[in-house]
Structure 1
Amino acid sequence: MKKKLIVIGIESSCDDTAVSIIKNRCVLSNVIIRQRIHKQYGGVVPEIASRLHEKYLILAVNKAISYASINKNQIDAVSFTLGPGLIGPLLVGASFAKSLSMGLKIPLLTVNHVQAHILAHFIQNANMNNTYPEFPFLCLMISGGHTLIVRVNDFFQMEILGSTLDDSVGDAFDKIARMLGLSYPGGPLLDHFSINGYSKKFRFSKPSVKGLNFSFSGLKSQVLQLVNKKLQKDSFFVKKNLSDLCASVQNIIAEMLLEKVLKATLKTGIFRVALAGGVSANNEIRRHFILFARKNKKWEIFLPKKEYATDNGAMIAITGLLKYEKKIFDSMNVTPYSKLKTF
């Protein structure tokens, strides 16, 4: 009888200290400790994030083991985020994972953070429809650091078909939110205030970008110009129109993303489409893709449940488990990296 693998996943690429334990593909525990302090600085401060990871990691690991109702000696391997991300926080996670691996005398598995977001779809019941996407499929990977269209041929055979030429979609959301006087992180607040807004109230043009690439800098400029112009006439313009502004921004971004993915499906002939990354939790983006898939029967859409869309340890654990099954192990000499490497 095949042994049921138990893998612990450690995620520390930014400001969330996340640890998860999975058995086969089933999540036994998924602990996330959020660092709220960064809100007062308007963004993540790497030095503070690093110190808090040092403080929280042992607590998160102990909680994960307790919630999973296992003994630490039952863990078969340690997986952790090697990159991309903030170097300081990554180094803290890497050092902790290496120590845990040595202490328990179990294999070490490094994980590409972006790849892990995509492979979160292979956690048991991680999708809204509780099924796994078949290979090959296309994945729109959208987060605070990345905006990519990826062709996924196998667990570890992925090809980037398109990416952003400037800001990531998550960064664009945060910067536009700041223009509207909203605090950090701005993306979830835009989503919240857009609920009662009219998405056609303010019209923004889409950039002309060739191929499957994206650009969001022009949209930021349009929003800034609109806000500055209107504020000269009415100092309460943003306050009066906040919901409509948020809804209009979200609508145009959702349209931009959907149009590029549609182009990718026609180019590749692949109509299985998955969304991944923190911004895939955005309600307007999800709504656009769901409605389009309902009208286009060729499409199969895979949306992650929101707890597996934002940064979490489960996506690191499942990627580690899949690497373990293929006997892809790592040495203690691995070094974290900040920029996305090719898959």
Structure 2
Amino acid sequence: MKTDAAPKGWLVLAFIAIYFVWGTTYLANLFALEAMTPFIISALRYVVAGLLLATLAYGKGQAFPKRKELRDLAISGTLMLAGGSGLVVVAEQYISSGSAAVIVATEPLWFVLLDRRRWRLYFNDRKMITGLLLGFLGIVLFTRFTPMHSPQGSPSGSPLLGTMIVLAGVILWVIGTLFASRRIKPNAYTLWHPTAQLLAAGIFAGLIAGLAGEWTVFDFREVSGPSWGGLGFLILFGSLIGYLAYGWLVTVQPPALVSTHTYVNPLVALLMGWLFVGEPIASQQLMALAVALLGVVLTQTSKVHAEAHYDGEGEVETHS
């Protein structure tokens, strides 16, 4: 893969987007939660982002996906965005934004556990097995050492409940990503693909909000400026700029380099939460984070991971 053709300035900006922007979306969730409920946040975020991206795709005159592709895109988008990212917003009612980001950082470990096609390859490698054990040990320790903390507007702090909700979201994200990687052809990819995923996720989240009674108590006039600001940040920077930056980076840089955002995002989220909303950070948490990230690094740098990634069926990680 040639990387010298990519303008250095754009490379720097793109990496800033996936390192810093994605790391700060967890804090943006907190601000949005001040006056909005979780699934309304996801519904508004994805529908607006999808419509904006649809305008861009239409302006470029790109080919529209076929009916079967639209179905697969809708399924994968709903799993990853409404289920995956949406549950992270729910969890931030019970745990800090930094804690949520740390748990999401275990995503590569779940790819290994849920990718049954490659289990024989993965579990014959000691480095991979060690990485998995360390990764999950780190999360257990992080949850154990997380101080009781009630995020803004939440009923009460509950590290265990928040952790379980985030893990459920991560699993849904991985299932959706694996589904998309095996059903959607990369060479047919256009801006209509993420547009369909965003709109499907937004509509589904809106339906869940309706079933949960969130729309009946929602009043646009009562939403504060900071909450609108948090939602706007999620739409513009999280679901558009960050998403498009990642999509471009994986075409011009080695996947292993692009995936380093997995290690940086939780550090950014912890720092932002501490600086702006006073989220506590215990020294034991940082030690547990180091253990978890060491496990992720071991799995990502193992020989079998590299073989699996380049066998022609490697999954593509996409965040919004």
The structure, 1 or 2, with the larger RCO (C-alpha pairs under 8 Å, 6+ apart) is: 2
Which structure has the larger Rg over C-alpha atoms? 1
Using structure 1 for the length normalisation, give the TM-score: 0.25
Using structure 2 for the length normalisation, give the TM-score: 0.26
Q: Identify, as 1 or 2, the structure richer in strand.
A: 1
